[in-house]
Amino acid sequence: MNQTSLRATQTPLRILQINLERGWRGGERQTLLCMQGYRAAGHEVCLLARRRGALAQAAQEAGFTVYACAGVLSMACCLLRRARAFDILHAQTAQAMSILAWLRPVLRARIVFTRRTAFKPKNKPARRRWKWSRADALVAISQAAAQAPRALGLVVRVIPSAVTWVRPAPERVEQLRVQYALAGRSVLMTAAALSPEKDPETLIRAVHRLHLQRTQIVFLHCGADGAASQAARALVRALNLEDVYLFVGFQTHIEDVYALAHLYVSSSRSEALGTSILDACLQGVPVVATRVGGHLESLADGRGLLCEAGDDEEMARHMLRLIDHPDVAAAMAARAQTYTRAEYDVSVMVARYLALYQEVLQAA
């Protein structure tokens, strides 16, 4: 990140980021990246987060002031005590925005909400519109994430999430190569929790189809267990893929796995943006993904191969093509890498948010 370019010319802002998620996924990563960028630009940044949560711990380790809360009630109490000390309250989760919406009449600070999902709500549109309209600025991380609020007549600013390139550690890469017996095999991977919306069963079936034609492959599934874990593991056993489809768990240093991968695959049925795909692009790994949400934006114009969600046959066909045609895969990966560096850079995201904050304050 270019620190000098981010130095604020206006009076430093006082910004409170609010995120109540317990675990560590894309939204939590983006919250911390924003905080680091704002601090680098000379602004005062604090965090309101779940006590003992992964984000709270990471922010504390990075030297930020963290207001830890046990749940919704303690968050509301904290806001009533502290919100007036800030210029901007930035809700990074839907739950946080719900609380801010109810407290809005007594909060002096301006409210910004970032929508990070592309789910299409099926009921209570009036309640959603009321909640989202309480924000002074409504942001979506992709055009897909912006569709639902726009359908309710709300103005939405699209500010894509960002990714940072991390250098793989050669010793760790070699350790993984030996640990999972990857030498001489085509390595495919994904980074996704074992949850229903990520649709691991379609991915497993696609890998099974591919393995019937190319036996020298191995698939590394990086990600924490979830509601789909049991079914996914049972399917791997049923298809006799125990030595091919490997569940390697959540990887703290995922860049080391990307360094080993010949291909990244996403089977998500819904994806607002997909920062794991952007990580793959930044690391120069070609991508096969489902034709949903943010994938349509990041992988457009030949930056990836897209298939219909749930279509394991088409997914397997795309994987086979890229394995058999490394020149095609390399050219595609190079296009995606160049685009990702330009469009999803942290400094770009931070500058867009800071400009939005200034607009909101000037309009107050």
Tens digit of each residue's pLDDT (9 = 90 or more) over 135-182: 999 999 999 999 999 999 999 999 999 999 999 999 999 999 999 999
Q: Which helix (H) or strand (E) holds 45?
A: strand 44-50
In whole angstroms, give the CA distance from residue 124 to residue 121.
8
User: Is the backbone of residue 126 left (phi > 0), alpha (psi -120 to 50) or beta?
Assistant: alpha
Res 119: pLDDT: 79
Tens digit of each residue's pLDDT (9 = 90 or more) over 310-333: 999 999 999 999 999 999 999 999
Tokens of 273: 């943006």
On whether both 337 and 353 belong to a single domain, the answer is no
> Are 16 and 49 a contacting pair, CB within 8 Å?
no
On whether both 151 and 82 belong to a single domain, the answer is yes
On whether both 54 and 199 belong to a single domain, the answer is no
Q: Which helix (H) or strand (E) holds 306?
A: strand 305-307
In whole angstroms, give the CA distance from residue 287 to residue 289.
6
pLDDT band (50, 70, 90) for residue 123: confident
pLDDT band (50, 70, 90) for residue 124: confident
**Residue 59 three-state SS:** helix
On whether both 354 and 313 belong to a single domain, the answer is no
Does the pLDDT of residue 102 top 50, yes or no?
Answer: yes
On whether both 182 and 313 belong to a single domain, the answer is yes
pLDDT band (50, 70, 90) for residue 53: very high
Tens digit of each residue's pLDDT (9 = 90 or more) over 282-300: 999 999 999 999 999 999 9
Domain containing 90 — which CATH number?
3.40.50.2000
On whether both 150 and 208 belong to a single domain, the answer is no
Res 80: pLDDT: 94
On whether both 146 and 260 belong to a single domain, the answer is no
In whole angstroms, give the CA distance from residue 23 to residue 247.
19
- Torsion, CA 118, CA 120, CA 126, CA 128, rounded to 10: -30
Tens digit of each residue's pLDDT (9 = 90 or more) over 64-77: 999 999 988 999 99
Res 11: pLDDT: 84
| Domain limits for position 133 | 4-162+345-363
User: Is the backbone of residue 258 left (phi > 0), alpha (psi -120 to 50) or beta?
Assistant: alpha
Instruction: Report the percentage of the chain scoring pLDDT > 70.
Output: 97
Section 46-52 average pLDDT: 95
Does the pLDDT of residue 344 top 60, yes or no?
Answer: yes
φ/ψ of 311, rounded to 5, equals: -100, 90
- Torsion, CA 185, CA 278, CA 283, CA 162, rounded to 10: -150
Sequence-ordered list of residues with C-beta below 8 angstroms from that of 63, at least 6 positions apart, any chain: none
The CA–CA distances, whole Å, from 21 to 148, 319, 345 equal: 22, 34, 24
On whether both 332 and 194 belong to a single domain, the answer is yes
The total domain count for the chain is 2
Res 8: pLDDT: 41
On whether both 10 and 59 belong to a single domain, the answer is yes
How many CB atoms sit inside 10 A of residue 224's CB?
A: 15
On whether both 102 and 145 belong to a single domain, the answer is yes
In whole angstroms, give the CA distance from residue 155 to residue 140.
10
In whole angstroms, give the CA distance from residue 294 to residue 141.
9
Res 71: pLDDT: 86
Res 10: pLDDT: 63
φ/ψ of 85, rounded to 5, equals: -85, -5
Tens digit of each residue's pLDDT (9 = 90 or more) over 223-265: 999 999 999 999 999 999 999 999 999 998 999 999 999 999 9
On whether both 192 and 335 belong to a single domain, the answer is yes
On whether both 150 and 224 belong to a single domain, the answer is no
How many CB atoms sit inside 10 A of residue 76's CB?
A: 15
